[in-house]
Amino acid sequence: MSEKAMNNSTSKGMNVHVRRVIAYIVLGILSFLCLIWFYILFINATRSNSELGRGFTVIPGGYLLTNWNNLIHGTLPIMSGMFNSIIIAALSAGLCVYFSCMTAYAIHAYNFKGKKAIFTFILMIMMIPTQVTVLGFISFMGKLGLMDSFIPLIIPSIAAPVVFFYMKQYMDSNLPLSLLEAARIDGSGEFSTFNRIVIPLMKPAIAVEAIFTFVSSWNNYFTPALIISSDNKKTLPILIAQLRSADWLKFDMGQVYVMIAFSIFPVIVVYLFLSKYIVGGVTAGGVKE
């Protein structure tokens, strides 16, 4: 090997090493910026209201158990709020990803008249914000007698155009029609094919959308605040808003931070349980072969 070739090889190796170092530095900075807010949250949850008024400190306080005890024995039904949020978010995520996957399967696997029009119509619905239709939705739920119940918070979440679109894109990349034809030739019924073949192949996409749907439903304040009126049916976002809006004699910022920290634990658990599918799911869904 000539000296020039060796120099070029060494230069390329150094460039790759430099780019790798820069990439790690950038990723480290981004990770720090993402995680620092969680650290601040948990630090503030350990401090009293008076300590929080004096500014931030990196050293944890000693009021975590006191704040938690005051929160649990306060006037707000924290534990029932946690249970309500878990029920609504879990059912919304499960039903949404299953039926969105089924809808995407119907558009992907069958040829029928009006298929493109239906697909376009579903995508058009994505452009309509919730705030535009909320008055009609509330009026309709009142006529059905479903106000102050969980049903309006769970059933409408089944129709999620964004989830459907992601499932459809994932199927276009990872679900060959020849596989479905082979299953039909072997005598598999349509529901059996969907549940035994399609669902296992769609696990990465289902996991990704389950996380997003769960978090979206968990953090939803707008619709539950309009539907729910009973204290024992309220979700955590509503209770957090009530805790923050307390009069100044009862206001305790330490309790607010403890409640916020308490409310994000289920989201962290769901993310850690399903996170291994995120990279594979997003990559496979976004690249078409």
pLDDT tens-digit map of 270-282 = 888 877 776 655 5
Average pLDDT value for the chain: 84
- What backbone torsions phi and psi does residue 252 show, to the nearest 5 degrees? -140, 105
87, 213: one domain: yes
Does the pLDDT of residue 90 top 90, yes or no? yes
In a domain, residue 51? The reply is no
Is 72 found in the same domain as 111?
yes
Structural domain total, the chain: 2
**11: pLDDT strictly greater than 80:** no
What is the rounded average pLDDT of the residues 178-192?
A: 85
| Residue 91 scores a pLDDT above 70 | yes
Same domain for 181 and 116: yes
Q: What pLDDT is attached to residue 252?
A: 80
In a domain, 190, yes or no: yes
* Among the listed residues 105, 102, 96, the one whose alpha carbon sits nearest the alpha carbon of residue 208: 96
Q: Which of 89-98, 125-134, 198-207 has the highest mean pLDDT?
A: 89-98
Section 217-231 average pLDDT = 89
pLDDT of residue 13: 57
- Is residue 17 domain-shared with residue 135, that is, in the same domain? no
Claim to verify: residue 10 and residue 41 sit in the same structural domain: yes
Judge whether 54 lies within some domain: no
Same domain, 161 and 27: no
Tell me the pLDDT band of 85, cut-offs 50, 70 and 90: very high
Does the pLDDT value for residue 245 go beyond 80? no
Average pLDDT over residues 17-25: 87
Question: Could you list the residue range(s) of the whole structural domain that residue 92 is in?
Answer: 68-286
Q: What is the pLDDT of residue 127?
A: 82
Look up the CATH number of the domain holding residue 195. Answer: 1.10.3720.10
pLDDT in tens, 36-72: 988 888 898 898 888 888 888 888 888 888 888 888 8
Say what the pLDDT of residue 86 is: 92
Q: Is residue 167 part of a domain?
A: yes
Residues 18 and 124 in one domain: no
Using alpha carbons only, how large is the chain's radius of gyration in Å? 25
Q: Band of the pLDDT at 124, cuts 50, 70, 90?
A: confident
pLDDT at 288: 44
Residues 74 and 110 in one domain: yes
Whether residue 177 sits in one domain with residue 118: yes
Whether residues 25 and 72 fall in one domain: no
